[in-house]
A and B are shown apart, each in its own frame.
Chain A
């Protein structure tokens, strides 16, 4: 079973609109990371939010974390066509103190002009 899961599976918006991707996870975490993967590239980190943080911002991006409900959200404001990508949440399982990220299946975001 998935330890981290994004929803919805896919989203389509027009440029300028705002969008939110949700993530639910099943383990105790030390941090949750959001990654974006554009076609033909590897994932790239957008935001890392630690378990003692409730919100983190990075430009047009805002991530929230609710450890009581084991959920996180990533919001993008004023979307652009270049935001088109697959968005993953990844939880940090600290086995032996080293990153062992567990990724969800991802949310496909399409931003059209």
Chain B
């Protein structure tokens, strides 16, 4: 088995701030993902990466940057936090064509 660790669990930022969320996996999976979950809107794909140093935009990439410097880690940066923004950011990983494993999420609040 393996685990996906997301840090921090809770993140409170100020409007306009650049905020970074981190994710580590020990499954040795090639593909990693960042999803955003808003209440009542399901999960939306922000970025994904199929291998180290690869980045692919998802459906919601505007306002975000991502970085995959190692196979085991994938970070997401909110380039300019929006006031009253509140969402859960979920990191995930998988092997091609198989089950996707999720972390427990980072809960973002912007004041």
**Which residues on A are within 8 Å of B, measured CB to CB?**
2, 30-31, 33, 40-45, 48, 88, 92, 96-106
Interchain pairs with CB closer than 8 A, number:
56
Q: What's the minimum C-beta distance from A51 to chain B, rounded to whole angstroms?
A: 12
- Give Cα A110 to B81, complex, Å: 34
Identify 6 residue pairs between A and B in the complex whose beta-carbon atoms are under 8 Å apart, listed by A's number: A42-B92, A45-B99, A99-B97, A99-B100, A100-B45, A103-B44
- Give Cα A112 to B53, complex, Å: 47
Other than the given A42-B105, A98-B48, 6 more pairs (CB < 8 A) read A42-B90, A45-B101, A88-B42, A98-B50, A99-B97, A100-B45
- Chain B interface residue count, CB cutoff 8 Å, equals 25
Q: In the complex, what residues of A have CB within 8 A of residue B31's CB?
A: 98-99
